[in-house]
Amino acid sequence: MIRQVLKGGRSADLGSSEAIDHIPRGPSTGSPRNPARWLDPPPGPWALERAYGYCEEFVRAHHEIYPVASRLVPAAIRPHLMAVYAFARSADDFADEPEYEGQRQEALSRWENELHLAAHGEATHPVFVALGDTIEKRELPVPPLEDLLAAFRMDMDVRRYATFAALRGYTARSAESAGRLLLALFGYRQPELVRFADEISTALQLTSFWQDVAADAARDHIYLPDEDMHFFGVTELDIKALKPTKAIRDLLRFQVARTRALYERGRPLLSKLGNDLKMELALIWLVGNEILDKIEDADYDVFTTRPTIGRRDKAKIMAKAAKHWATRLDLGTFRRLWP
């Protein structure tokens, strides 16, 4: 969930969260960030405090609708969450953002090498100096971090999925790995909780896929499984025409229902977590479901207008979270956490 539970929140038009503790929100417009400075930081040495500060700066420079290291997260865990987020989000940018065209493989290879150095306490890049400390102090498993890099490489090479099972093979490396890292950061390692987290993580990634069918098609990525497109009589040309035909609406209705089922299968996780993670994850779960509601409300037309989260939606989400999951927090507290 670190990145891919945040995947749908990439664009500022969804309503960026201002829940990042004491970090002012960056502008939604203006001069673009310089991607090279994340790949090639200023020279060291990078003491731990400075390295974690670098990760915090990275978080400040990116926008998400899902809260990243909000005040709901215990202060002792917040820097570690930012370190993992900086690792995952930067790697995703390498694989996906146009600024990195021509150097994607090289950047991911550097990240893989730095990860191995970090696991042995020998990192030189500030993100990995912080991440290495996080791996040690929070006892993070390294394989899910490696799986995330494998998923980003896969996303560069694989642009179609024949079956839903094949798509789940991709989400297992990306979404599920991120969700398992999030649980591990907070000290949750029980197999039952991991299974619930896998369902929610996958649901969040699928939600972003259905929300961004048009944008993904424009970059020649179609995450709708071929088997489902064939069943509903939808072709690639239909998708790339960006017109909400009845067949496409029916196809997306099916995908939304399938995704809702995943959210529900993972829902028991929310009642099994402590207050350290429960509210953070509850907001994420509710935002994902709200985006599905938006797709439904648009009669499954994701082409004319991209489904987004507005201020009224935020208020509704916060009210639901306060009603169902809050223990010592009232609605006013939520408004301060998520304006």
- At 279 the three-state DSSP class reads helix
Of the pLDDT bands very low, low, confident and very high (cuts 50, 70, 90), residue 22 is: very low
CA angle (58 as vertex; 186, 112 as ends), nearest 5: 75
- Domain range for 117: 4-337
Instruction: Give the start-end residues of each E strand in the chain.
Output: none
The average confidence (pLDDT) of the chain is 85
Q: Give the C-alpha separation, 39 to 108, whole Å.
A: 10
- Which of 16, 5, 72, 81 minimizes the C-alpha distance to 263? 5
| Tally of structural domains, the chain | 1
296 and 249 in contact (C-beta within 8 Å)? Answer: no
Residue 64: what pLDDT? 54
Q: Please tell me the predicted confidence (pLDDT) of residue 71.
A: 62
DSSP state of 299: T
Which region among 31-45, 86-100, 111-125, 214-228 has the lowest average model confidence (pLDDT)?
Answer: 31-45
Q: Contact at 8 Å (CB) between 302 and 81?
A: no
pLDDT confidence of residue 128: 98
Q: Encoding tokens for residue 43?
A: 């020279």
The predicted structure's pLDDT at residue 325? 55
Is the pLDDT reported for residue 68 higher than 60? no
Write out pLDDT tens, residues 173-195: 999 999 999 999 999 999 999 99
Q: Select, from the ranges 7-16, 98-107, 227-236, the one with the highest average predicted confidence (pLDDT).
A: 227-236
Amino acid symbol at 180:
R
pLDDT in tens, 48-66: 999 999 999 998 888 654 4
Instruction: Give per-residue pLDDT as tens, 116-128.
Output: 999 999 999 999 9
CATH number, residue 184:
1.10.600.10
What are 75-109's pLDDT values in tens digits? Answer: 899 999 999 999 999 999 999 888 899 999 999 99
pLDDT digits (tens, 9 = 90+) for 198-210: 999 999 999 999 9
Contact 176, 169 (CB under 8 A): no
Q: Two tokens at 296?
A: 């439904």
pLDDT band at 37 (very low <50, low <70, confident <90, very high): low
Q: What are phi and psi of 327, to 5 degrees?
A: -115, -50
Does the pLDDT at position 234 exceed 50? yes
pLDDT-above-70 percentage for the chain:
81
Residue 72 and residue 55: Cα distance in Å, rounded? 19
